Amino acid sequence: MNDNERDKPDEDEVAKVREIAEKIRPLLAGHGSRIQGVALATLVATWLKGHIHTSDREKTIDVRARLLAHFTMLCAKWSDISHEQVRSISPEEDAW
């Protein structure tokens, strides 16, 4: 199985994702992009926090870094942002 096949959700997953997104959408509506972004970042941070190796701090850091990198690529893929565009964003350019 290649990366494209592994990353492609099945019909049940798509339906569940749409259901969850539609429940979240009204909570974000009407807020500026900064508030929306921080709210979504908080959810992602909570998700990452759940991935922990209790006996190995370095392994935890590695797993979280790989998950976040994969998550970022999925976001880019599903929103038609190119890999090169994502990699070109520096922390300074994204500062508030």
Q: Delimit the domains of the chain by residue range.
A: 3-88
What count of other Cβ atoms lies within 10 Å of the Cβ of residue 92? 6
Within 1-96, residue ranges assigned H as helices are 3-7, 11-28, 33-49, 57-78, 83-88
Q: Which residues contact 27 (CB under 8 A, 6 or more apart)?
A: 39
Q: Could you state, in chain order, the average pLDDT of each consecutive group of 10 residues for the chain (96 residues)?
A: 60 86 93 94 91 90 91 78 56 44
pLDDT of residue 87: 57
The pLDDT of residue 19 is: 92
Q: Residue 43 has what pLDDT?
A: 92
Spatial contact of 63 and 53, defined as CB atoms under 8 Å apart: yes
Regarding pTM above 0.75, the answer is no
Encoded tokens for 60: 């935890």
